[in-house]
């Protein structure tokens, strides 16, 4: 494998709608995976919804940079995606509505598919976004908001390339980089120099989702 990080385009996200499921591995996932039942039957709907939301982000938020990792030895097959933002003033971000359901209003009945755990997703996002000013510095910074490697290709350094890409941009600007991490991925981020500044808990046991 010869992996390379490149800027991704809306056309890449359109293509990503076809890359999902147990064999291929999902290339794009909702920010909170637990909000979607983890069934193969839902895999296509999950991929389509996620890629469309991310595409709308890319097309409408000028702070957003999508990074894809491709395998140069396999016809530039896309194996991982990440989304970095160059925020001018830390957590005082623009376009936050896109984080919920892309261009749709979260209260639009068509905003989320019926199987989606809307209450869990929105409550979780509300908390994550509201808490950012407690731990994120003001001023220019880079923020990683989503990262995913297709399951069959994990452990080959793809996520590391996405992290390094953003860290290089932050270093060029002379500013810090931030991210929110799920527990399992903390080791990966520490390996790339991130430090834990705050630990938060969110109990989703009452939402009826698998978690
Ligand atoms: C976390 C994730 C992006 C890592 O991608 P990757 O391309 O395999 O990462 P790299 O090859 O650069 O690094 C692999 C490291 O990630 C760690 N890792 C973190 N979470 C992991 C997970 N859920 N599954 C497998 N490895 C994971 C591994 O322990 C490994 O560390 P090691 O090299 O010390 O053994 C990938 O596992 C993934 O897509 N998970 C599901 C989505 C997710 O959890 N995203 C992060 C939310 S904070």
Give the pLDDT of residue 26.
93
Its CATH class, for the domain covering 3-194, is alpha beta
In angstroms, the Cα distances linking 157 to 82, 139, 164, 186, 192 are 13, 30, 10, 15, 11
Strands 177-179 and 141-149: parallel
In testing the pocket of ligand 1, which one of 149, 160, 179 has its CB within 8 Å of the most ligand atoms?
149
Ligand 1: which atom is nearest the Cα of residue 191? Answer: 34
Residue 37 pLDDT greater than 80, yes or no: no
% the chain with pLDDT above 70: 99
Show the tokens assigned to 205: 């046991």
Both tokens of 52, joined, read 């469309």
Instruction: Give pLDDT tens digits for 160-205.
Output: 999 999 999 999 999 999 999 988 899 999 999 999 999 988 888 8
The tens digit of pLDDT for each residue in 114-151 reads 888 899 999 999 999 999 999 998 999 999 999 999 99
Mean residue pLDDT across the chain? 92
* Ligand 1 pocket: which of 155, 160, 180, 187 to mutate (most atoms within 8 A of CB): 155
Question: Three-state SS for 171?
Answer: helix
Ligand 1 centre distance from Cα of residue 159 (Å): 7
pLDDT at residue 45 above 90? Answer: no
Q: What pLDDT score does 210 carry? A: 56
The alpha carbon of 46 and the centre of ligand 1 are apart by a number of angstroms equal to 20
**pLDDT band (50, 70, 90) for residue 158:** very high
Sorted by where each begins, the domain ranges of the chain are 3-194
CB 20 within 8 A of CB 1: no
Q: 6 has which bridge partners?
A: 68
How far from 18 is each of 49, 78, 112, 182, CA to CA, in Å? 11, 11, 19, 26
Cβ atoms of 59 and 51 within 8 Å: the answer is no
**How many Å lie between the centroid of ligand 1 and the Cα of residue 163?**
11
Residues with CB under 6 A from ligand 1: 80, 147-149, 154-160, 181-182, 184-185, 187-188
72 pLDDT above the threshold of 70: yes
CA of 169 to the centre of ligand 1 (A): 22
Contacts of 134 (CB under 8 A, 6+ apart): 198
| pLDDT over threshold 80, residue 209 | no
Query: Which residue, by CA, sits nearest to atom 10 of ligand 1?
Result: 157
């Amino acid at each position: 494998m010869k992996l390379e990080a490149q800027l991704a385009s809306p056309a890449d996200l359109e293509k990503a709608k076809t890359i999902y499921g147990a064999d291929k591995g999902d290339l794009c996932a909702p920010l909170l995976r637990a909000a979607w039942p983890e069934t193969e039957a839902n895999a296509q709907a999950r991929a389509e919804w996620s890629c469309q939301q991310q595409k709308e982000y890319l097309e409408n938020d000028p702070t957003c940079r999508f990074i894809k990792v491709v395998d140069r030895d396999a016809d530039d097959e896309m194996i991982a995606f990440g989304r970095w933002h160059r925020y001018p003033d830390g957590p005082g971000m623009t376009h936050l509505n896109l984080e919920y359901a892309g261009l749709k209003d979260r209260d639009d009945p068509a905003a989320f598919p019926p199987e989606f755990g809307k209450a869990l997703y929105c409550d979780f996002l509300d908390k994550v976004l509201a808490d950012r000013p407690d731990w994120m510095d003001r001023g220019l910074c880079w923020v990683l908001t989503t990262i995913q490697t297709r399951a069959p290709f994990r452990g080959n350094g793809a996520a590391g390339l996405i992290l390094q890409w953003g860290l290089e941009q932050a270093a060029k600007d002379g500013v810090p980089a931030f991210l929110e991490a799920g527990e399992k991925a903390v080791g990966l981020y520490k390996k790339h120099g991130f430090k834990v500044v705050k630990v938060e808990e969110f109990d989703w046991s009452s939402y009826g989702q698998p978690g």
